[in-house]
A and B are shown apart, each in its own frame.
Chain A
Amino acid sequence: MSTDKSIVAHTISVLVANEPGILARVVGLFSGRGYNIESLTVAETNAKENQSRITIVTKGTPMIIEQIKAQLDRLVPVYRVRDLTVEGPHIERELALVKVRSTGEKRVEALRLADVFRAKVIDAKADSFVFEVTGNSDKVQTFVGLMETLGLVDVGRTGIVAMSRGGEPL
């Protein structure tokens, strides 16, 4: 345990029983104890075992992060809590849908940049596109930033899902 006061972001994967109220328990824990949620994603990942996976990005001092993990682990429907940030290399991905409305030069430029970012066009009208872009949050953020001057009208982001590298399960 360090007495370090520096605030670092951690990506935490939580395997939970997929039962009513589980998300409220997790979110209530964060709001009730004043922890930070930068990003949160949740979906069922194992229908047979009735399990969901929650990925949370949170910020805090090392002592707070330890506390957050212990508090999560204490919830009865929580199977496992893993801090991907400290447990070795991992990958993070986020998906965004980005709607841009423009014509002429701007429209061409948006399409060109989408290509650079390997964003897919998933809807196109004479004066608009919806792009689908995936990548780490920085990439998604950069792409959204670039679209701002090119007619950005709407953004939807999934938040981060993450996984450790290598063959081990959570």
Chain B
Amino acid sequence: MKPEESATTGADLLVKALIDEDVEVVFGYPGGAVLPIYDSLFKQNRLRHILVRHEQAAVHAAEGYARSTGKVGVVLVTSGPGATNAVTGLTDALMDSIPIVCLTGQVPTHLIGNDAFQEADTTGITRPCTKHNYLVKSVEALARTVHEAFYVARSGRPGPVVIDLPKDVLMNKHDYTAPPKNPVEHKSYRPQTKPDPKKIEQAIEMIAKAKRPVFYAGGGVINSGPKASKLLAQFVHMTGYPITNTLMGLGSFPASDKQFLGMLGMHGTYEANLAMHGCDVMINIGARFDDRITGNLTMFSPGSKKIHVDIDPSSINKNVRVDLPIVGDATLVLEEMIKLWKAKQPKVDQKALKAWWAEIETWRARNCLAYKVDKQTIKPQFALERLYHHIKNKDHYITTEVGQHQMWAAQFLKFEQPNRWMTSGGLGTMGYGFPAAVGVQIAHPDALVIDVAGEASILMNIQELSTVAQYRLPVKIFILNNQYMGMVRQWQELLHGSRYSESYMESLPDFVKLAEAFGARGLRCHEPDKLDDTIKEMIALPHPVIVDVLVDQKENCFPMIPSGAAHNEMLLGPDDKAGKLSDEGMALV
């Protein structure tokens, strides 16, 4: 057979390669440079294409899809503005370690560098916001590059990978290269997944000897797959030690478990933060000592020995110096730890542990998430408590936008399983939650998918109402409408003398009518005693729904550790005043 007979166009090869990589869904938006790919998509029915209404939303949708399934999310956008619109999403995925493959169109190779129509230096622009990127210069390299990109995106510390595809490469013909049978060793990229056994031994010794231990588990446990969460729970139960989760780690340990202290960090619980502050051994599994966690670095958990398990050596000793670094995949590390713990049956100092738990219980008794209930106005915390009450026995997934509502969602919704909670943690991207919910709903068509939103954030990707209409996605948008960029307002109140510069949300749309304009349903609620009925109605409706919950405009999110303060300088409620922050503290974000 002559090569021309068996050969296919680059675009067809691409589609074949995606199918071979187990891709089922692509989130995208067409344009001139990717027309050959859209033509190939048209001619097949294995890949489903979801047409979003903005390329940023395509990436967030792919993130929601990826985080809720553990698979790689796939994005397809055109050259120039299509690619630049995707940049926020890519940066978001990089910060939160979400596996994405983003295919971008590019002008034909002979025009690259000519300021051709809709040309952008996509690999240049996306270099700092991807785990890796490729410019495919010939059709021969196309299929191989796609397979490599998927491997890079999902292995090691996951992240977004861009493949820039000049139009001529998509139109030229070549034979197909199948994915390697065994994931071949990449020439230069070889993430370390197996931990050093000596380190495991040292870790077990440190953990066994601890008198005031705490587990601090993060998004890396979720990245590692659902098995890691099971192993984490098993190990934490074997030790009897307390555990806290980061925002990104929520769901890696069941929230209802009595060993769970809640989320830690800037808006974490009193008990979690004080346990971190006062512990003698900290066991970090897949968390990266983010500044939302550590606060003032010099005062962060000053008396503890720290064990840090992370698949990415660059996460270790970046912000906080640790005593025992363990490079490896959380699943493999936990397996080894459990094995050794069982073999050694170490004698934990039960008396010390009991005393430690007793101390923790006194912190817990502060009931730091308590808020003043109001008969007239809906408190946002109350709205979330009621929401949780109605969804907890249903198969549900939660996404959020960014702001106070996000933090309250983290505090008041309980996550019993991994992959049920999608939020933009590292980049804090307003506009993330709704498109992410679209991606989740595509992956889980029968589940209840709710975007907990703020009225400001939701406007950032509101155009996706058109997407949910087209695909009849019953996504629920639960807006905690405080008519303010609440998180901004809170900082202005606490740190800038209550000068509410530009944080009031003027001229908001009528969200009920807005929903209706897109064929969705709109509900509104402002009375606390009508809230339950509204939530029930939202759940019962088989349509996309916007619920506009008018909440207390002045409510602040507590606890709060002001930037630059230490864990034991937490504000617990409206009556606590922030001490005078240092200039250094004021400069922090």
Contact = CB atoms under 8 A, between A and B. Distances in A.
The number of chain B residues touching the other chain, given as a range, is 20 to 34
Nearest to A78: B188
Interface in B175-201: 186-189
A79 to B, nearest CB: 4
Chain A contact residues (Cβ within 8 angstroms of B): what range?
20 to 34
Nearest to B322: A1
Interface in B112-151: 123-124, 127-128, 131-132, 135
B312 A74 contact: yes
A70 to B, nearest CB: 4
A20 B135 contact: yes
B127 A63 contact: no
B247 interface: no
A70 B313 contact: yes
B131 A66 contact: no
A76 B189 contact: yes
Nearest to A50: B187
B169 to A, nearest CB: 15
B152 interface: yes
B135 A25 contact: no
A116 interface: no
Contacts of A1: 317, 321-322, 325
Taking each of B128, B187, B188, B317, which has the highest tally of chain A beta carbons within 10 Å of its own beta carbon?
Answer: B188
Nearest to A74: B314
A70 B321 CA distance: 15
Nearest to A16: B188
Interface string B306-319: 00000011101110
Interface string A22-57: 001100100010000000000000000000000000
A27 B447 CA distance: 46
B314 A67 contact: yes
Interface string A123-136: 00000000000000
A116 to B, nearest CB: 44
Contact of B128 (A3, A32, A67, A73): A32
A78 B313 CA distance: 14
A6 to B, nearest CB: 15
A3 B189 CA distance: 30
Interface string A62-75: 01001100110111
A114 interface: no
Given A17-B187, A24-B124, A63-B321, A76 B314 contact: no
B317 A66 contact: yes
A73 B321 contact: no
A76 B317 contact: no
Nearest to B314: A70
Given A76-B132, A77-B188, A28 B318 contact: no
A3 B317 CA distance: 10
A73 B313 contact: yes
Interface string B285-315: 0000000000000000000000000001110
10 contacts: A25-B127, A28-B128, A63-B317, A70-B314, A70-B318, A71-B314, A74-B312, A75-B132, A76-B189, A78-B188
Given A21-B123, A70-B316, 13 more contacts: A1-B317, A17-B188, A21-B127, A24-B127, A25-B127, A28-B127, A32-B128, A67-B317, A70-B318, A73-B313, A73-B314, A75-B132, A76-B186
